[in-house]
Homo-oligomer: A and B are copies of this chain.
């Protein structure tokens, strides 16, 4: 750290492309760094993609869960999506107000409200999924179909332990 670092003022070129590559030598060796950058980048696009239908990624995850698994409780969905029970309340209220699902008391256990999608909810879930898929096609345009599948597989392996622990 002498030859390269001891140049306080000798740096003619503007801090553009060239500089941006070197710094990633250390950070870019970390999978977690790329994981974070890619995830944030993807999330920004997903939020934008769902904005026209007044939904967010978390909104879509919850509705999709209800559609895919009718009859689950809010606590179930919280466990599946790794969100807190306190934070799903508002999300469900909003979805319910839009008529996208209904609650039915469980006759056998009065604590539970089982959630069932309405036809409108199923349609909305389908539409939202479509929007997100379009976004994914954009963001994954540099990957082949095989690479996309491989990426999905590897990512699933990364957080597989989370499921094993308490999922």
Residues of A participating in the B interface, judged by any CB pair closer than 8 Å: 1, 4-5, 7-9, 11, 15, 17, 19-20, 22-43, 46, 57, 61, 64-65, 67-73, 76, 79-80, 82, 104, 106-108, 114, 116-117, 122, 125, 129, 132-133, 135-136, 139-140, 142-143, 147-148, 150-152, 154-163, 167
If A57-B36, A158-B140 touch, does A68 touch B25 (CB 8 Å cutoff)? yes
Contact B5 A70 (CB under 8 A): yes
Contact A23 B71 (CB under 8 A): no
Contact A41 B158 (CB under 8 A): yes
Contact A34 B156 (CB under 8 A): yes
Please measure, in the bound complex, the distance between the C-alpha atom of A40 and the C-alpha atom of B114, giving whole angstroms.
Answer: 28
Contact B22 A68 (CB under 8 A): yes
Contact B19 A69 (CB under 8 A): yes
Q: Which 4 A-B pairs have the closest CB atoms?
A: A39-B39, A34-B155, A38-B158, A41-B159
Contact B107 A155 (CB under 8 A): no
Contact A154 B154 (CB under 8 A): yes
- Among the interface residues A23, A65, A152, which one has the most CB atoms of the partner chain B within 10 A? A23
Residue of B nearest to A108 (CB): B9
Contact B31 A151 (CB under 8 A): yes
Q: Mind listing 28 A-B residue pairs with CB under 8 Å?
A: A1-B117, A5-B70, A5-B116, A7-B71, A9-B106, A15-B72, A15-B73, A19-B72, A20-B80, A20-B163, A26-B64, A26-B67, A31-B136, A31-B148, A31-B152, A32-B42, A32-B132, A32-B136, A34-B155, A35-B38, A36-B57, A37-B82, A37-B155, A38-B158, A42-B158, A142-B160, A151-B154, A151-B155
